[in-house]
Amino acid sequence: PITPGELLCLGSSLAFSGFFYYMYRKKARIVACIQEAPKLQVDDDLPALVSAAEGRCLPYVALEGIVLPAQAALNSHYHEGLQGVIQKLLLKEHRLIWNSLARSW
């Protein structure tokens, strides 16, 4: 005879397993899209290609080309000789609203 506690444990175990498998498959699809991303060159044709795309956005692409830093290149702390640049830094500050019910911001 199976007790209700065992059924509860079995059901929750199956639910968690299903949820984690769903998350795994979702992330696997995203990784596959990134690995199959088209490689584009940074040249004069790139702005026209982006503006012609749906929503003026390319979902996953790999850009190849030479970029120049605005000030100084970032040096890697972990790999000697590896440098990178930041294309754009966006700072978004969320506005705080007083919640009178919870009496908090």
With respect to residue 103, please indicate whether it lies within any of the assigned structural domains: no
Count how many domains the chain has.
1
With respect to residue 95, please indicate whether it lies within any of the assigned structural domains: no
With respect to residue 43, please indicate whether it lies within any of the assigned structural domains: yes
Chain segment 14-41, per-residue pLDDT in tens: 999 999 999 999 999 989 988 888 888 8
With respect to residue 35, please indicate whether it lies within any of the assigned structural domains: yes
With respect to residue 34, please indicate whether it lies within any of the assigned structural domains: yes
Average of pLDDT values for 75-88? 84
DSSP 3-state of 60: coil
With respect to residue 100, please indicate whether it lies within any of the assigned structural domains: no
With respect to residue 92, please indicate whether it lies within any of the assigned structural domains: no
- Percent of the chain, pLDDT > 70? 94
Please say if the pLDDT value at position 88 is more than 80: no
CB 50 within 8 A of CB 57: yes
Quote the pTM value: 0.47
With respect to residue 101, please indicate whether it lies within any of the assigned structural domains: no
Distance CA 3, CA 54 (A): 56
Query: What is the distance of C-alpha 41 from the center of its chain?
Result: 22
Which range marks the domain in which residue 15 is found?
A: 4-84
Determine the pLDDT at residue 58. 82
